[in-house]
Amino acid sequence: GQNIDQPTEMTATEGAIVQINCTYQTSGFNGLFWYQQHAGEAPTFLSYNVLDGLEEKGRFSSFLSRSKGYSYLLLKELQMKDSASYLCAVNEGNNRLAFGKGNQVVVIP
């Protein structure tokens, strides 16, 4: 079975930093994706972590701890356009991804 848990919603102020957590228990693990999805649109790729540690890419960073079944996405210098749902997805192998429910981030001025 699979269990991927994310908080449902958070609000943050423009310019702030927000951390979105994801915990997982899955039958297989080959890596963890973070996607951004604006309402009514397709998810777009943000990051992919295979090994433990922090991966930094501009304003976005993603962290993985495989022993703890835990990842987080860090968004810095928040902008209004960052208001979106952030999806955590575990690569279970065989090209299959298992998605969490997504965390809705609302950025306010």
Q: Is 86 in the site for other proteins (CB under 8 A)?
A: no
By CB under 8 A, name the one of 12, 29, 83, 96 that touches other proteins: 96
Closer CB to other proteins, 15 or 93, in the complex:
93
Binding mask 13-52 for other proteins (x = CB under 8 A): -----------------xx-x------xxxxxx--x----
Q: In angstroms, rounded to a whole number, what is the distance separating the alpha carbons of residues 85 and 43?
A: 9
98/78 Cα distance (integer angstroms): 27
A 10 A CB-CB count for 49 gives: 20
Q: Is 7 among the residues that bind other proteins (CB under 8 A)?
A: no
Residue 41 CB partners (closer than 8 Å, separation 6+): none
Select 76 or 92, whichever has its Cβ closest to other proteins: 92
